[in-house]
Structure 1
């Protein structure tokens, strides 16, 4: 049997999985061909529904304006922002009070705990990110896994942790922030008339609403930007809230311990 060397090469089918050319300056993580799922049928149907609806949200909600707006939530919800920020506030020689430094220390511990938990779940589940994920820079190998969404766990954890410390914020408002503003603006009648009652009655509500809006924006951005599936962010929210409860009730760093560590770090490195 002879082989016709002049015959044109066969073309790859349109729907086949192949290497796509990434957009300049962006990293593309391709999804491998789906493997036969041998588990319960309803789980397979749920995953199929999840992929289909997540892609619909990405294709229909991502506009040029939404892209640049949602990138803010992507960067602000990244661990590369939160970890250094919490550590810097905690060890800063002049920032905050012992109570706020204690919160920064507990936030730092919670963020480390979040990295361990999310990394462990991702490496166990090993669900790949959507094939249409673009512009996501891979920093560590675990970042190619999709479930749960690390941004979603972090946003839910920070928001829940802030809520759990409501008595601390209310105490600081009544004992420190409000008296400071009242003394500063005692000769300004307009500020005393409008700003001070707002601080006394509504500052905590405004702060809670701001954190909730930021967390919701961060969570939704993961699906709209095509970074994760819907189930990834739902699972991330549940994991993040559970992390906050565990960190608050079992990994809590008291103010005295926080201040001792703060003094030690200052004497050692500052």
Structure 2
């Protein structure tokens, strides 16, 4: 799916869908680029980068082992997400948008676009936090309830997740279908993590 040769061998319906996706994604990128501050979009990008989120989460766990029941599902799900998204990218090998010359891949799988790892990570976090805050299991410590209203915190997390996922298209890092697929995977991972990665 990534190379021109693979695209010509694809079924006609898939070729048309990918062409429409590329056109729509470029139109969104070109339309919003003059209006949106690049530093804000890059800030969203860095806030959801695995190289930032995993070490920060791990440091919090090591500094305060009492938070382990709350953060362990998140840490494990981040690793699951990294492996799953990397595998899917290597299978589909969809090239990233050509109008994004500044994209520098960190690992080989990051040369590919489908699905968006940032979108999967932020929707994974938003889904997992939503389930944790709404659960009756007492996972959220009392001091969090006292200092942060759960509904306000959840609204902030969801807004951040949606903005970050959207920024992937606006920055020209991904096509729209990449982001939608990544978001779908992230929600499934969040549900899976909440139900099966808690000990």
Moved more, 116-125 or 58-67: 58-67
Whether the 8 Å CA contact 1:90–1:102 is kept in 2: the answer is no
Distance 1:86 1:169, change over 3 A: farther
Distance 1:65 1:40, change over 3 A: closer
Does 2:49 match 1:82?
A: no
Distance 1:78 1:174, change over 3 A: closer
User: In structure 1, which of residues 124, 128, 150 is the aligned counterpart of residue 91 of structure 2?
Assistant: 124
In structure 2, runs of 5+ residues without a counterpart are none
Q: Which residue of 1 aligns with 2:155?
A: 209
CA–CA separation in structure 2 for the residues paired with 1:177 and 1:138:
37
Alignment root-mean-square deviation, CA = 2.4
User: Which secondary structure does the structure 1 equivalent of 2:37 belong to?
Assistant: helix
User: Which secondary structure does the structure 2 equivalent of 1:105 belong to?
Assistant: helix
User: In structure 2, which of residues 93, 116, 119 is the aligned counterpart of residue 149 of structure 1?
Assistant: 116
Whether the 8 Å CA contact 1:86–1:105 is kept in 2: the answer is no
Does 2:33 match 1:62?
A: yes
Runs of 4+ in 1 over 6 A off after TM superposition: none
User: In structure 2, which of residues 173, 191, 196 is the aligned counterpart of residue 245 of structure 1?
Assistant: 191
Q: Which residue of 1 aligns with 2:128?
A: 161
User: Which secondary structure does the structure 2 equivalent of 1:165 belong to?
Assistant: helix
Q: What aligned pairs does 1:103-122 form with structure 2 within 5 A after superposition?
A: 103-122=70-89
Q: Which residue of 2 aligns with 1:233?
A: 179
Number of corresponding residues: 198
CA–CA separation in structure 2 for the residues paired with 1:137 and 1:129:
11
Q: TM-score normalised to the size of structure 1?
A: 0.67
